[in-house]
Chains A and B, each alone.
Chain A
Amino acid sequence: DTEVTQTPKHLVMGMTNKKSLKCEQHMGHRAMYWYKQKAKKPPELMFVYSYEKLSINESVPSRFSPECPNSSLLNLHLHALQPEDSALYLCASSQGGGRGYGYTFGSGTRLTVV
């Protein structure tokens, strides 16, 4: 299995809702990432988990809450989002940060906040 699987593919939620995005990989990668991408813009790093511990939080608002239950799973819990949070949310994984390690991206969850 050489894929990163993200669910759901599309999500519409109200500003008072609580929802979660899920990301799964079975490649044995020990680093997992959440990125946010707006249309025609590059992906912006949100969080990095390394060996199941949060290693980077790029000053993301607390309405986004990441969770890494085990080495294969990464969740992003959403609560009280704003319409400007509508975007494509990408998950990625990598074997490590050294030479020769690539990144595998999921196809993303397209989130619309209404």
Chain B
Amino acid sequence: AQSVSQHNHHVILSEAASLELGCNYSYGGTVNLFWYVQYPGQHLQLLLKYFSGDPLVKGIKGFEAEFIKSKFSFNLRKPSVQWSDTAEYFCAVNPIRQAGTALIFGKGTTLSVSS
């Protein structure tokens, strides 16, 4: 069965520190890849997505992610975090098949940024 692994359960950083959240998936075929963020009490927001082309994708709020096909990875990065980045971060994978293939989510990483 396909799965998505997020290595870090809880990350604690100070403001201005750099961030990297790991995500690996297990699916041998073609995939669409996503990172979502969920601020406390709010709904899911799309940070960025990768479909094809340049493996380094840029998203909103200064986030970027790199797709490394050989490592089945899609890690999220931000050079300098802010207190407002405190949130839950979910990596998600969509195996390319027929219509109606659902997103598979990782367990999430809680990011806490102290000012």
Q: Which residues of A are interface residues toward B (Cβ below 8 A)?
A: 30-31, 33, 40-43, 45, 48-51, 55-56, 88, 90, 92, 94, 96-103, 105-108
* Complex A-B: 14 CB contacts under 8 Å: A33-B102, A40-B108, A42-B107, A42-B108, A43-B103, A48-B100, A49-B100, A50-B99, A56-B100, A97-B97, A97-B99, A99-B32, A102-B46, A102-B49
Q: Tell me the residues in window 11-38 of chain B with beta carbons closer than 8 Å to chain A beta carbons.
A: 30, 32, 34
B101: Cβ under 8 A from any A Cβ: yes
Bound: A25/B91 CA distance, A: 24
> Would A99 and B51 be within 8 Å (CB), given that A40-B108, A43-B105, A107-B43 are in contact?
yes
B32 close to A42 (CB less than 8 A): no
B82: Cβ under 8 A from any A Cβ: no
Q: Tell me the residues in window 40-65 of chain B with beta carbons closer than 8 Å to chain A beta carbons.
A: 43-44, 46, 49, 51-52
Chain B interface size, under 10 / 10 to 19 / 20 to 34 / 35 or more: 20 to 34
A97 close to B46 (CB less than 8 A): no
B88 close to A31 (CB less than 8 A): no
Residue from B96, B98, B100, B108 within 8 A of A99 (CB atoms) = B96
How close is B70's CB to chain A, nearest CB, in angstroms?
Answer: 19
